[in-house]
Structure 1
C-alpha cells in the first residue's frame, strides 16, 4: 500500500491571506512616509561585485569619479534581515559618509534575498560570502580591510575572521553579540526559551521574522519603540530621526531558513562559538581562533548586543587585542540597538574614536 499523502493544513490559506494583508499594510505605511519626505536618499555607489548572497557596493565621495583614497579600506557588513541604508540614513547621520570624509575606501556588503528553490544557505555560506567580499576589497583597494559589522552582520563578520584571519586587518563589532550564555542579553533568553524549532529549509519572509521578534520580545521591539516615539515628540530632530528609522524598519529582507535555524540552535541556544565548538568548514571555531584586533561598541540599554554579549568572548581572545567602548542611550533611534549607527551622540563622540582605532591598525 502506498503511503498516505499528508493532509493539507486547513489554516494555510488563512495564514497566507493574513500575511498578505500585513505586507500590504506595511507597504502602505512605507509609501506614506515616502510622501512626507522620509524615503531613501543614499550616497552614490558603484557595484564592485555580484554574488548569490550579496552585492558589494563601493561608495563615491559625492559626484566625484571613483578613485582609491589614501586611507584604510573598510568593509561594512549589515545585518541581513534589513536593507542596509541605516548605515547611510541622512547626510548628518551616515556611517558611510563619516568614513568617506575620513579618507577611507568604503565598501558595503548589501545582502540579497535567497533565491526561491535554490540551495539552502547557513552560517558558513554567509560567513564565506563575507570572506569573498573581503578578498575583492583587498584586490580593488590594495589594502587588507577592517571589517565593521552591526548586529547579526557583526556576528557573521566575526565568523569570517575566525575562518580566515589573514584577510582582515581588524574587526569592529557594533551591537553585535558573540556570547550567548544564559543572561547575556534579554533577547537571547527570549529566543532560547521558545519551544518551537525553526525549519532548516525554505525562505522566511522578513515581515514574518519581524512579527516573530515582536512576539518573542515585545519589550525590545514594541514598547521601547513606542516610548522612543513619545520622547521624540518634544525634539524635532529626534522626531525626524525616529520617523526615518520607522521607514527603514519597514524594509525587511527574507532570510534563508537554514541560516535562522543554525543561528537559533547553534548560537542562541548552544552558545557554540563562545565555547569554541562551532564547526564550520571542518574546523572548530571559537575565541582563541579569532586572531585579529577587535573593537566592540556597546550600549547598556541594548537588549540584543550589550556588553555581556561580547565581554566573555573577548576575555578568551588573545590578551591586548580587544577593546570595548560603551555609549549612552539616545532619543530618536527607535531601538537602542541602532544607536551606534544612527544616534546623534554616537556620531559626535563614538565614531571619531572608532575612526582613530581603525587608522591605528590599518
Structure 2
C-alpha cells in the first residue's frame, strides 16, 4: 500500500489567514457601500455564457451607430471598474460614442474545477467575439485592460479573423528586463506558483504589495492624501478603493503560465509562444492595434508595448501616452477611471475605432 502524502502542517494556518483577510476586506467593502461608494453600473443583459465567462450587452438611449466593441477586463478583479460611475465609465463613454458595447464578465474559478491557463482564456476571448458577431452586430473591436489586454492580444495572434482591431489599455505585451518595474519584481521571485489549485484573491493582492510596495501601497496612500483637497478626486479614490476590495481567486495554472511564459521568458514578444498547436508572436498579430499607456504606470508602460509593436507590420500600430492624474489610486487604472483620460484620451480612442468601422 503506497504511503499517503505527508500533510502540509501550515496549510490550515494559511487557509485560516486567507479567510480572515477575506472577511476583513468584505467588512471594509460593506462600510464603503453604506457611504454610497458601491456599484453604479449601466443596465445590461446576458446574451451568452460558459462556465468560464458571461457576455454582457449594454443598451444606450439610442441605437448604436458604430461598430460592436468587446471589452475584456483582467480576470484578477471584478469587471465593474469598466463602469465605475457617471463620467468615469468606459461603458458609458462607449455608448455615448455610438458603440455597440459588450463586455466579458469572467467567472471566478472554483476549487476542483478545470485548470484554466492562458490558452483557455485566450480562446474564451475569441469565442466571446464570435458570439458578438453571431448576434448580427458584426466583427467587434476588442479592447482589453491589463491582463485582459494581454489575453485579447493572445487571442488575436492565435486567430485574427474574429476581431476587427485591437485596443490595449495599460496592457503589457513585452516582458524584457527593464520593460516595467513590476515585471522585474515578478521575475525576481524565487518561488513558483503550482499549476493546480487556486490562488486566493487576498493572497494575490498581498503578493503584489510585497513585490512592489511603492506601486501598490505608497502610491495609493499618496493619491489618497492628494485627493483630500478635491471632492471629486476623493470620491473617485474611494470608489476605486471599494472596487479593489472585491478580489476573486485565479487559477493556479493561469498564474503559473503568466509568470513563467510571459514575465520570465517573454515568449510572446520573442515569437515562440506555443498555443493551440501554433507558435504565436508579433508576426501572427495581423490587426490594427492601438495602445494607451500612462507615463506613470509601473505595470503596463510604453516600454512594455513598444518592442512588441516594433515587430508588427509597419503602419498598423499607434501608441497614445497620457499623464498621471489624481484620484485613481494606481496609475495603472487611470485609462479606465481617470477624469482626464475620459476627457482627453477616450475621444481619440473612439475616433481611432470609428476610422476602422
| TM-score bin (small chain) | over 0.9
TM-score after normalising by structure 1: 0.97
After TM superposition, give the deviation of residue 133 of structure 1 in Å.
0.3
Cα deviation per residue 1:37-63 (whole Å; 9 max; x = unaligned)?
00111000000101111100000225x
The 8 Å contact of residues 105 and 141 in structure 1, kept in 2 or not, is answered as no
Cα deviation per residue 1:94-135 (whole Å; 9 max; x = unaligned)?
110111011110000000012321221100000000000000
Query: Counterpart of 1:75?
Result: 70
> Where do 1:7-18 residues align within 5 Å?
7-18=6-17
**Mapped pair 1:236 → 2:235:** no
After TM superposition, give the deviation of residue 164 of structure 1 in Å.
1.1
After TM superposition, give the deviation of residue 348 of structure 1 in Å.
0.3
Which residue, out of 85, 103, 109, partners 2:104? 109
Query: Counterpart of 2:94?
Result: 99
Cα deviation per residue 1:149-187 (whole Å; 9 max; x = unaligned)?
000000000000011111111000000000000000000
SS of equivalent residue, structure 2 residue 173: coil
Q: Aligned partners of 2:101, 2:20: CA distance in 1, in Å?
A: 39
After TM superposition, give the deviation of residue 140 of structure 1 in Å.
1.2
SS of equivalent residue, structure 1 residue 165: coil
Query: Counterpart of 1:50?
Result: 49
The 8 Å contact of residues 232 and 238 in structure 1, kept in 2 or not, is answered as yes
Query: Counterpart of 2:85?
Result: 90
Cα deviation per residue 1:60-108 (whole Å; 9 max; x = unaligned)?
225x8xxx62311000000001001111111111110111011110000
The 8 Å contact of residues 232 and 242 in structure 1, kept in 2 or not, is answered as yes
Query: Counterpart of 2:323?
Result: 328
Query: Counterpart of 1:314?
Result: 309
**Mapped pair 1:282 → 2:281:** no
**Mapped pair 1:189 → 2:184:** yes
Q: Aligned partners of 2:234, 2:19: CA distance in 1, in Å?
A: 30
Query: Counterpart of 1:258?
Result: 253
After TM superposition, give the deviation of residue 141 of structure 1 in Å.
3.6
Q: Aligned partners of 1:114, 1:129: CA distance in 2, in Å?
A: 14
Q: Aligned partners of 1:119, 1:14: CA distance in 2, in Å?
A: 26
TM-score after normalising by structure 2: 0.98
Query: Counterpart of 2:40?
Result: 41
Aligned residues: 357
Cα deviation per residue 1:213-262 (whole Å; 9 max; x = unaligned)?
11111111111101100111111110000000000001111111101000
